[in-house]
Structure 1
Amino acid sequence: MYELIVGDDATEDIEKILEINAPAAYRLGVFLQELECDQDLLEKLSWDQYGGKPHLPEKGATFSVSKVYSLYRTGKNIWRLRDFELSREGFEYRIIYAYIPAQDLYFVLAVVERAFDYDPKHPITQRVLDAYNKLEAEGW
C-alpha cells in the first residue's frame, strides 16, 4: 500500500501560504487529503510525465507529475506535482516530494510557487536536499 507523509517543512509552507492566499492553502490541504485516501492516485505519483497540462490533461488526470531532473540526475528521487484545479483557479504552486519505492512511500518535502526554478544554491532547494538526505540517513 502506498503512503503519503507531509513533512514539517511542507506543512510550514502551507501555513505561510495560508497567511497570503487562504483559498490556495485550503485547496492544497484538500488535495493532499484526497491523495492520502486514494491508492490509485498515489500510484500515479511515480509515473514520470503523468497527467499532461491543466488545459490539455490526459484522460481523467487531475494533476501532473514529473521528476525534478536537475536533482534526479544527482541520485535524488525527488519529484514535483501540479494540481490542475489549483492551476485553473489561478494559483500556481507545486508540491515537491521524495519517492521511496522500497516502501511505496511519498514524503512531501516542500510546497513552492511555480516560478521556483530548483537552483541548487537556492535556500529552498537546500532545505529540500537537507530533508531528503535526512530521510536517507534514517533509512527511508
Structure 2
Amino acid sequence: MYELSIYQDAEEDLERLLVSDESLALELIVYLEELRDDMEMLDAMRRNQRIEGRTHVSILWRWPDPINLWRLKLAEIRPRDGTFPYRIIYAPDPARNIFHVLAIMHRDQDYERDKALRQRLLNAYEDLGLPKRGANPN
C-alpha cells in the first residue's frame, strides 16, 4: 500500500496556481486527490514509464545532487491549448512507501539551473529525512 504526501512548499505552489489559473489548479487538485487512492498509478511512480493517455513518469537523472527526484508529466489534464503546462516533482520514500510531492512547477522552468528551486527541493528532501542516492541505509 502506498501513500501520497503533499509537502508544504507544493501546497504553496498550488495556492499560487489557484490565484493565477483557478480552473487548472482545481483540475490538478482533483488529480492529486484521485492519485491518493490509485494504487496502480502510485506503484507506477516507482519506475520510469509512460502510461498511455495518462502520465509520463521519469527520474531526474541529470539532477546534480545525490537526491532521488522524479517528475510526473500529466496527460489526463488537457487545457484549451492542449498540453498541461506543469510538472509534479516528487521524491519517493521507499522505506515507508510514501511519495512526497515537493513542487508543482511550470514546464518551462529549468529545474537544473533555477538555484532557488534547487535549494528549495534540497531543503525539503533533507527536512523529510529521505535517503540520498548511493547512501548506505545502515
TM-score range, shorter chain: 0.7 to 0.9
In the alignment, does 2:97 pair up with 1:107? no
Instruction: Tell me the distance in 1 between the aligned counterparts of 2:59 and 2:130.
Output: 21
Q: Give the gaps of 5 or more residues in structure 2.
A: 132-138
What residue number does 2:121 align with?
128
- What percent identity do the matched residue pairs reach? 38
Greater per-residue helix proportion: 1
Structure 1 residue 121: deviation in Å?
A: 4.9
Q: Would you say the 8 A contact 1:2–1:42 is kept in 2?
A: yes
How many residues of Structure 1 are paired with residues of Structure 2 in the alignment? 128
In the alignment, does 2:87 pair up with 1:94? yes
Q: Give the gaps of 5 or more residues in structure 1.
A: 52-56
Instruction: Tell me the distance in 2 between the aligned counterparts of 1:43 and 1:93.
Output: 21
Instruction: Tell me the distance in 1 between the aligned counterparts of 2:109 and 2:43.
Output: 25
- After superposition, the Cα gap between the structure-2 partners of 1:95 and 1:77, relative to the gap in structure 1 and judged at 3 Å, is same
Structure 1 residue 133: deviation in Å?
A: 1.3
Q: Would you say the 8 A contact 2:93–2:130 is kept in 1?
A: no
What residue number does 2:66 align with?
75
What residue number does 1:63 align with?
55
Instruction: Tell me the distance in 2 between the aligned counterparts of 1:75 and 1:120.
Output: 16
Q: Would you say the 8 A contact 2:86–2:106 is kept in 1?
A: yes
